[in-house]
Amino acid sequence: MSTIQPFDEQQIASVGTSVLALCVGQHTDKGRKPLNEDAIGSRIPNGHLLSTKGAVVAMSDGVSLAEQGAAASAISVSNFLADYYSTPDLWSVKQSSQKVLTALNRWLYGLGQDYRDARRGYVCTFSALIFKSCHVHQLHLGDGRIYRYRNHGLQKLTTDHTSVVANRSKYLTRALGLGINIDVDYAVSETESGDIYLLTTDGVHDVLSDDIFAERLKRLADNKEITDKQCQLLTQELINDAIAKGSTDNVSCQCIAVRALPEPSIDDIYRSLTQLPFLPPLAVGMKLDGYIVLDTLYQSQRSQVYLVKDSHEQRYCLKTPSLNYQDDLAYIERFLLESWVGSRIKNPNVVAVCERKANKSAMYYLTEYIDGVTLTEWMRLNPKPEIQQVLRILSQVVVGLRAFHRKETLHQDVKPDNILIDKNGQVKIVDFGACFIKGIAEISTPFIRDIPLGTADYSAPETLLRYPVNAKADLYSLATIAYEMLTGELPFNGKQAQCKIDKDFKKLNYTPSFVCNPLAPIWMDNAIRKGLNFDASMRQADISEWMHEMNSPVEYWYRPAEKKTLITRDPLVFWQGLTAILGLIIILILLFLPSS
Distance CA 422, CA 369 (A): 10
In the chain, the amino acid numbered 88 is P
Per the DSSP assignment, residues forming a β-bridge with 148 are 155, 197
Per the DSSP assignment, residues forming a β-bridge with 320 are 304
Distance CA 120, CA 113 (A): 9
pLDDT exceeds 60 at position 556: no
Distance CA 201, CA 29 (A): 11
82-97 pLDDT, tens digit per residue, is: 999 988 876 889 989 9
Domain end call among 229, 263, 297: 263
* Sign, Cα dihedral of 130, 133, 136, 140: negative
Residues 220 and 251 in one domain: yes
Domain annotation covers residue 104: yes
56-77 pLDDT, tens digit per residue, is: 999 999 987 777 889 999 999 9
Residues 461 and 502 in one domain: yes
Distance CA 350, CA 78 (A): 47
Residues 467 and 582 in one domain: no
Please, which residues have CB within 8 angstroms of residue 256's CB and are 6 or more apart in sequence?
22, 23, 24, 57, 129, 131, 196, 197, 198, 199, 231
pLDDT-derived band at 361, boundaries 50, 70, 90: confident
pLDDT-derived band at 6, boundaries 50, 70, 90: very low
Question: Are the beta carbons of 64 and 26 closer than 8 angstroms?
Answer: no
Residues 344 and 429 in one domain: no
Residue range of the domain that includes 582: 559-590
* Sign, Cα dihedral of 561, 535, 462, 546: negative
pLDDT exceeds 80 at position 366: yes
Give the mean pLDDT of 15-20.
53
Residues 245 and 293 in one domain: no
108-154 pLDDT, tens digit per residue, is: 988 887 655 545 678 999 999 999 988 899 999 999 999 999 999 99
pLDDT-derived band at 408, boundaries 50, 70, 90: confident
pLDDT exceeds 70 at position 375: yes
Distance CA 421, CA 398 (A): 14
316-336 pLDDT, tens digit per residue, is: 999 999 998 887 777 887 888
Q: Which DSSP category does 124 fall into?
A: B
Using CA atoms, how far residue 175 sits from 64, 125, 185, 527, in Å, is: 13, 5, 11, 72
Residues 168 and 227 in one domain: yes
Q: Which of 351-365, 421-435, 548-562 has the highest mean pLDDT?
A: 421-435
Share of the chain above pLDDT 70, in %: 87
- State the pLDDT at residue 552: 87
Give the mean pLDDT of 585-593.
81
- State the pLDDT at residue 13: 36
461-507 pLDDT, tens digit per residue, is: 999 998 989 999 999 999 999 999 999 999 999 999 899 899 999 89
Give the mean pLDDT of 164-176.
80
Domain end call among 212, 235, 263: 263
In the chain, the amino acid numbered 426 is Q
Residues 410 and 301 in one domain: no
Domain annotation covers residue 189: yes
- State the pLDDT at residue 200: 98
Strand 303-309 to strand 291-299: parallel, antiparallel, or no bridges (unpaired)? antiparallel
Q: Count the helix, strand and coil residues of the chain and give each as a percent rounded to the nearest 5.
A: 40, 20, 40
pLDDT exceeds 60 at position 403: yes
Question: Are the beta carbons of 317 and 366 closer than 8 angstroms?
Answer: yes
Please, which residues have CB within 8 angstroms of residue 121's CB and are 6 or more apart in sequence?
66, 67, 68, 72, 108, 111, 112, 113, 114, 115, 177
Residues 249 and 306 in one domain: no
Interhelix angle 522-531/472-487, nearest 10 degrees: 140
- State the pLDDT at residue 452: 56
Give the mean pLDDT of 568-594.
80
Domain annotation covers residue 12: no
Domain annotation covers residue 221: yes
Residues 395 and 257 in one domain: no
Interhelix angle 472-487/387-406, nearest 10 degrees: 160
- Which position has the higher pLDDT, 131 or 343? 131
210-250 pLDDT, tens digit per residue, is: 999 999 999 999 988 899 999 999 999 999 999 999 999 99
Distance CA 434, CA 36 (A): 59
Domain annotation covers residue 378: yes
pLDDT exceeds 90 at position 265: no
Distance CA 524, CA 144 (A): 71
pLDDT exceeds 80 at position 560: no
pLDDT-derived band at 24, boundaries 50, 70, 90: very high
First CA to last CA across the chain, in angstroms? Answer: 113
Domain annotation covers residue 419: yes
pLDDT-derived band at 450, boundaries 50, 70, 90: low
- The number of beta carbons lying within 10 Å of the beta carbon of residue 423 is 9
Q: What's the domain count of the chain?
A: 4
Q: Which of 188-197, 329-338, 397-406 has the lowest mean pLDDT?
A: 329-338
Give the mean pLDDT of 528-546.
96
pLDDT exceeds 70 at position 47: yes
Where is 15: in which H helix or E strand? strand 12-15
Cα R_g (the chain), whole angstroms? 33
Whichever domain contains 171, its CATH number is 3.60.40.10
Average pLDDT, the chain: 87
- State the pLDDT at residue 357: 57
The beta-strand segments (E) located in 87-191 are 126-132, 135-141, 145-150, 153-156, 162-164, 170-172, 185-190
Long-range contact pairs involving 355-359 (C-beta distance under 8 Å, separation at least 24)? 356/289, 357/192, 358/289, 358/290, 359/190
Report the length, in residues, of the chain: 596
In the chain, the amino acid numbered 59 is M
Residues 337 and 397 in one domain: no
- State the pLDDT at residue 39: 96
- State the pLDDT at residue 585: 87
Distance CA 128, CA 100 (A): 13
What angle is formed at CA 469 by the lines to CA 466 and CA 470, rounded to 5 degrees? 170
Give the mean pLDDT of 540-555.
89
Domain annotation covers residue 11: no
Question: Are the beta carbons of 218 and 149 closer than 8 angstroms?
Answer: yes
Whichever domain contains 409, its CATH number is 1.10.510.10
pLDDT-derived band at 512, boundaries 50, 70, 90: very high
Burial of 183 (0-12, 13-18, 19+ CB in 10 A): exposed
- State the pLDDT at residue 390: 97
Give the mean pLDDT of 512-541.
94
Residues 275 and 243 in one domain: no
Domain annotation covers residue 111: yes
Whichever domain contains 338, its CATH number is 3.30.200.20
SS (H, E, C) 552-571: CHHHHCCCCCCCCCHHHHCH
* Sign, Cα dihedral of 361, 367, 373, 377: negative
Domain end call among 335, 368, 401: 368
Residues 525 and 468 in one domain: yes
